[in-house]
Amino acid sequence: MKTLIIETANAKILGELVTVSRLFGQAPDVVVLGSGELQGSYGKAYRLSDTLGANLGSSLSDLIKRERYELILLSTTAIGSGLAGPLAVSLGAPILSEVTAISPDLTIERSLYGSKAVARYKLESGPLVLTIKRKYFEAATLEGTTATEELPVGPQKITLLEEIEEERTGIPLEDAEVVVTGGRGIGSGDNFSILKEIAGMLNGAVGASRGAVDEGWMPPGAQIGQTGKIVAPTVYFAVGVSGASQHLAGISNAKCVIAINKDNEANIFKRARFGIVGDYKKAVPALINALKENA
């Protein structure tokens, strides 16, 4: 199936899209957005120097129509999600967003209702636009680099005035092998310091449920879940988190979930491999002591 990937030069995200393209057979072509070296090898490789969807629509739809791509792959990043809808409209193509799995017979899956249900689709004919949910497909290793052919950017409809980089300290949540998340049960923003301590000891990152973010204890960038970040760490601590389906939607690929909650009926225990029923104010210091003893 003739496939086009549209993404920035971010190797991890590109790698996920390459993995998906391989399920559909043919080596993909790519349009890389913005600057940066393009890693990996592709059929044809193009570059659009802009990353603003509103300025790219006409160039991309011209290319897709001219080259008769049947499958257009984007990621669920702000750029990919913003581009996918207008692109599908201009191509008159269907779109499936936030794809989470593709089976060997090419049945495409996406989750619905905060991951309470799964919908399955079969592609009869292209073109089809897919946005691939981050962290659901193992990123392919991209060997070498590929030179790109510059495509003309369409009429400038929007101008980017300023980009303000999100303040980040430590490992980004999406890349952390250990994530320590606090929920409303943590009780205050100051109490998150104890979670930061364990995260620091385990070289991990601190996340938050929407409950904790809504309370103003952690910034929105730390939220994990359906409307937050998707993480796939080896170890995920959920501390004072009830385990609402919208939260679990962000950790479905976490390998080992350890829950600490004082309510033994909390839903998070259904997802956890290990659980501690009790007050985190007792359990977490005990955990820190055990880690220090075994350091």
Ligand X SMILES: Cc1cc2nc3c(=O)[nH]c(=O)nc-3n(C[C@H](O)[C@H](O)[C@H](O)COP(=O)(O)OP(=O)(O)OC[C@H]3O[C@@H](n4cnc5c(N)ncnc54)[C@H](O)[C@@H]3O)c2cc1C
Binding-site residues for FAD: 184, 209-210, 223-227, 240-247, 261, 279-280
In the bound state with ligand X, the residue whose beta carbon lies nearer, of 131 and 242, is 242
Residue 38 pairs in a beta bridge with: none
The reply to whether 223 sits near ligand X by the rule CB under 6 A is yes
The reply to whether 266 sits near ligand X by the rule CB under 6 A is yes
The reply to whether 185 sits near ligand X by the rule CB under 6 A is yes
Burial (Cβ within 10 Å: 0-12, 13-18, ≥19) of residue 120: exposed
The reply to whether 207 sits near ligand X by the rule CB under 6 A is no
The reply to whether 244 sits near ligand X by the rule CB under 6 A is yes
Alpha carbon distance 22, 40 (integer Å)? 13
The reply to whether 242 sits near ligand X by the rule CB under 6 A is yes
The reply to whether 226 sits near ligand X by the rule CB under 6 A is yes
In the bound state with ligand X, the residue whose beta carbon lies nearer, of 38 and 251, is 251
The reply to whether 97 sits near ligand X by the rule CB under 6 A is no
Burial (Cβ within 10 Å: 0-12, 13-18, ≥19) of residue 169: exposed
In the complex, minimum distance from the CB of residue 47 to ligand X, in angstroms, rounded to a whole number:
34
Structure tokens at 139: 């990123």
Burial (Cβ within 10 Å: 0-12, 13-18, ≥19) of residue 4: buried
Within residues 144-183, the interface with ligand X by CB under 6 A covers 183
Region for residue 87 given its phi and psi (left: phi exceeds 0; alpha: psi -120 to 50; beta: otherwise): alpha
Chain residues that interact with ligand X, rule: CB under 6 A = 183-185, 209-212, 223-228, 240-242, 244, 246-247, 250, 260-263, 266, 279-281
